[in-house]
Amino acid sequence: MPTKAALYARVSTRDKEQNPETQLLVLRDWAERQGLETTEYVDYASGKDLNRPAWQALTKDWRKGKIDVVVVLRLDRAFRSIVDMHNCFDEWEGRGIRFASITQPIDTGTATGKLMVNVLAAFAEFEREIASERIREGQARARKEGKKFGRAKIRLSPERAAKIIEKHDGNWSDAAEELSVSESTLRRRVKSLGVKPLVAI
């Protein structure tokens, strides 16, 4: 009976322009060389916790005994929290499930691999905490200097809105990128202005 592998890829919500196919191509090649039977799971979500649609689907499958090994490109594609990582590893160990991070490389089928996972996850969480501290310190300094926080308002006239949307042939995503705002923000602004672009959208 072939070994069943879960190929997991994740792209951050802040990096939606990235294509998870880049990760999957490497994972597929590795799995093929290992002779594994694969199922793919892809998330477009932050890695701050495990509350991600594809990860939740993967969790259900390994608990049903459908998965023998979980494969990712890098450890941070699956985990950002050492607590989440340890919880999963404890469960996987009890179920006889391996974890492989193929570019580091890490494989919990070996003692060295288990040690590497703990070391790398600890550093990942440490870096995240340091980054959070720097953000908080920066915000505190800014408040002392009287700076305000919040979303920047779009300076957008009806004429400019229509021209930008028409320039991109009705592609809201490209128009929003030019204005450095989200697509939903642009749609709300255009609606409030009562703009009707000439291009069908």
pLDDT at 71: 96
Secondary structure (3-state) at 183: helix
pLDDT at 140: 82
Asked whether residue 143 is assigned to any structural domain, the reply reads no
CA distance 196 to 190: 8
Range 113-118, long-range pairs (CB < 8 A, 24+ positions): 114/89, 117/75, 117/85, 117/89, 118/82
Q: What is the DSSP string of 119-167?
A: HHHHHHHHHHHHHHHHHHHHHHHHHHTT---SPPPP---HHHHHHHHHH
Domain span including residue 174: 158-193
Which of 103, 124, 145 is the last residue in one of the domains? 124
Structural domains of the chain, count? 2
Asked whether residue 133 is assigned to any structural domain, the reply reads no
Residues 97 and 179 in one domain: no
pLDDT tens for each residue of 70-114: 999 998 899 888 778 888 988 998 999 999 999 987 888 888 887
Residues 113 and 165 in one domain: no
Asked whether residue 144 is assigned to any structural domain, the reply reads no
Residues 99 and 16 in one domain: yes
CA distance 90 to 97: 10
CA distance 84 to 198: 50
pLDDT at 201: 41
Asked whether residue 129 is assigned to any structural domain, the reply reads no
Report residues of the chain scoring pLDDT below 70: 13-17, 124, 148-155, 195-201
Asked whether residue 34 is assigned to any structural domain, the reply reads yes
Asked whether residue 138 is assigned to any structural domain, the reply reads no
Q: Which residues are catalytic?
A: 12
Q: Taking all residues of the chain, what is their mean pLDDT, rounded to a whole number? A: 82
Output the domain CATH number for residue 21. Answer: 3.40.50.1390
Q: From the CB of residue 161, how many other CB atoms can be counted at a distance below 10 Å?
A: 21
